[in-house]
Amino acid sequence: MINFLKNVINQATGLDSTSIIIAVGAATFFFGFGAGALYNYYLILTNSPIVSTLRTSLTFKSAIFGDGIILPIINMTAAYFLIKNRKYRTKTILVYSFISGFVVLAYFHITQAVKGLVNWAMPSPWHWNLLGLWHAIYMYSVASFISYFYFTSIKSAIKEKKIPLQLILVTIGMITFFILLDLDYR
């Protein structure tokens, strides 16, 4: 798995940094918000009962503003930092990031199920549908990527004895996203 990712990264480095950063933002927007919003819109047009009985992505501020705006900006900021600070990236950090991504995913999905926070991706506690699987894969990817950024930027901060600006910006963005998430589920 690590060799596969290494090959993907090596091939991607043929692109200029700006293209990679824009691609990260576009992918985050599409997989986190765009595809779900299009599906949500389709369900509205077809008068699907899902829209009238369950909350869908277009009813969540954390989806519209968080997945649609904040997370793409966070991931672009993280990508910029990771590209500029290759010397701090290691295989160990990558492995810890994948583990951390899984822990974050498990925490949120277990909490959602235990608290009975149903929506169109989890219509009843502990039962996720295909949309739930889509979101879980997206969430795992983003949580792992952001973990990779945090581990790498913390290593940089320790070595350089200076907190990177990107670490501060990403943290502010994540706090804002979690506030929106909390407001959606109150």
pLDDT computed for residue 11 by the predictor? 61
pLDDT computed for residue 175 by the predictor? 98
- Residue 118's CB: how many other CB atoms inside 10 A? 16
Average pLDDT over residues 38-51: 92
Single out the residue of 129, 76, 104 nearest to residue 181, CA to CA: 104
- Per the listing, tokens 């277009």 go with 58
Share of the chain above pLDDT 90, in %: 85
Q: How confident is the model at residue 37 (pLDDT cuts 50, 70, 90)?
A: very high
Q: Domains in the chain: how many in total?
A: 1
CA-CA-CA-CA torsion sign (95, 96, 101, 103): positive
pLDDT tens digits, 107-141 = 999 999 999 999 999 999 999 999 999 999 999 99
Average pLDDT over residues 71-87: 96
pLDDT computed for residue 185 by the predictor? 86
Residue 48 has pLDDT above 60, yes or no: yes
pLDDT tens digits, 146-181 = 999 999 999 999 999 999 999 999 999 999 999 999
Q: Which domain holds residue 77?
A: 2-184
In order, the DSSP letters of 57-93 are GGG-HIIIIIIIIIHHHHHHHHHHHHHHTGGG--HHH
Q: How confident is the model at residue 2 (pLDDT cuts 50, 70, 90)?
A: low
Q: Which residues contact 92 (CB under 8 A, 6 or more apart)?
A: none
pLDDT computed for residue 186 by the predictor? 84
pLDDT computed for residue 1 by the predictor? 56
CB 44 within 8 A of CB 51: yes
Across all residues in the chain, what is the average pLDDT? 92
